[in-house]
Amino acid sequence: MSVFTSCLWRRSFCLPIYTPTVGIEFATYHTCNVLSSEKIPAFKRIRAVPVKSKFQHKPAAFSERSTQPKDMWSSERRPALKSINKRATVSSELQRLTMDDEDIAAKRDWSDKQTASLSMNEHHYEYVFGISPCLLAITHGRRKIRCLFVKDGDTSQRASVLKVCEEAHNRGVPIRRVSKKDIEKMAPGRVHQGVCLQASPLTHVTEEQQGWPLSGKDGNAPQLWLVIESVQDPMNLGAILRSAYFLGVDGVLSSISDSCPLSPVVSKASSGTMEVMEVYGYKNLGAMLKVKKALGWSVVGTVGSESGKSHVVRCSDFTLTKPTLLLIGGEGGGLSEKLQHYCQTLLTIPAGRQLFTGIESLNVSVATGILLHTLLFSRNESK
């Protein structure tokens, strides 16, 4: 009896074979599955017959000038490739674990998760940016500071940046060097000068927190306090605070509901003055003015030169002789009619020429600087 009873099926398949002279050829193999007889256990035998195919292909990985190309199909090379990848992974992990945090941050971008963690882990924090705001925020201690971020590169070696880092180090503030991309996420579109400070926000000092701050007495000179209504541009508010501090105003009051908050933009526009000078906030300026007016304070408002009001005087003709509140209105509308009602005097800045329509007024921060300088100069002269 024959050992092989029948051939049940036949199959053909191709395998690539590389030859140095031709390249890669495909050899066709024919396999035959046969069954054994009843006396012999079932088994399979494969008979392979190589047949060269007319199809030839030369891979792009091999240069025509190459005389001894590498065998890309060799199974012996695959473990080596795996080991290389493994070594690279381990090296990267070791490098990440052993490098200093500052160097890591400088050499790689934070992921979205890490950035969100910095900004949202404690959502009561904000980013103060710029040399002066960061330096004054650190030195005056009105904020709760979390971390100082410095842009890596030549910026970190500037004297002004080193001064900020020195003050932060002396006060135990963590310092972290970051890439340009990361620091621009903290202050998008702003002139950060290479430093950002993550700290708690500043807010208006309310009457409930400090009580009424105006005593009306400052030696022999009457006090001058600035009252701001409805200034909504943070750049204008910052410039006003800077001028008020520089010229020697005794204090600043502001409406809360319709004025811009004390944001990092305001701090940068004020060149850090907001970090030093407290701004008192009131929900009802009218009620406050009524009380202070009854206590003998002079309430002085400001209007444009073309307002048509009957009791308007030039700011240069006004003399500061007693404690005074100077009221400044917001952009566009100026001082509201409601607050004008509390004023004993309205001041204006006269124009030096005939003005065209549309440019007959000054920017609110510029006008405030002129008015403050004029009144404070008159106070010093009377003194």
The domain 205-382 is placed in CATH, from the list 3.20.20.100, 3.40.228.10, 3.40.190.10, 3.40.1280.10, at: 3.40.1280.10
Low-confidence ranges of the chain (pLDDT < 70): 1-123, 208, 210-219, 307-308, 310, 382-383
Number of other residues whose CB lies within 10 A of the CB of residue 260: 19
CA–chain centroid gap for 124, Å, is 15
Distance CA 377, CA 53 (A): 103
Residue 78: the pLDDT is 42
Q: Of the candidates 378, 142, 165, 179, which has an alpha carbon nearest to the alpha carbon of residue 275? A: 142
> Which H or E element spans position 52?
strand 51-57
Residue 23: the pLDDT is 53
3-state helix, strand, coil in the chain (%, to 5): 35, 25, 40
Distance CA 216, CA 222 (A): 7
Domain coordinates in residue numbering, the chain: 4-57, 109-199, 205-382
Q: Of the candidates 159, 218, 220, which has an alpha carbon nearest to the alpha carbon of residue 193? A: 159
Task: Indicate the SS3 state at residue 342.
Answer: coil
* DSSP string for residues in 183-234: HHHHSTTS--TTEEEEEPPP-PEEHHHH-----SEETTEEPEEEEE-S---H
Residue 1: the pLDDT is 46
Q: What is the largest CA-CA distance in the chain?
A: 137
Q: Residues of 19-34 as b/e, b for ≥16 C-beta within 10 angstroms?
A: eeeeebbbeeeeebeb
Distance CA 187, CA 120 (A): 15
| pLDDT, tens only, 304-333 | 877 667 678 999 999 999 999 999 999 988
Residue 34: the pLDDT is 46
* Equal fold, 109-199 vs 205-382: no
CB neighbours of 149 closer than 8 A, spacing ≥ 6?
Answer: 176, 177, 178, 182, 183, 186, 195, 196, 197, 198
What CA–CA distances, in Å, run from 92 to 99, 178, 330? 10, 19, 57
Residue 72: the pLDDT is 39
| Burial bucket for residue 227 (CB in 10 Å: 0-12, 13-18, 19+) | buried
pTM: 0.68
Name residue 23's beta-bridge partners. 19
Q: Which residue has the tokens 């001028």?
A: 243
Residue 311: the pLDDT is 76
Residue 368: the pLDDT is 97
| pLDDT, tens only, 219-230 | 678 899 999 999
Task: Report yes or no: 351 and 370 within 8 Å, Cβ to Cβ.
Answer: no
Laid out side by side, the sheet with 279-282 consists of: 205-206, 279-282, 251-255, 224-228, 324-328, 298-302, 345-348, 312-314
Task: Report yes or no: 306 and 358 within 8 Å, Cβ to Cβ.
Answer: no
Distance CA 95, CA 104 (A): 9
Residue 219: the pLDDT is 61
CATH number for the domain whose boundaries are 109-199: 3.30.1330.30
Task: Report yes or no: 348 and 315 within 8 Å, Cβ to Cβ.
Answer: yes
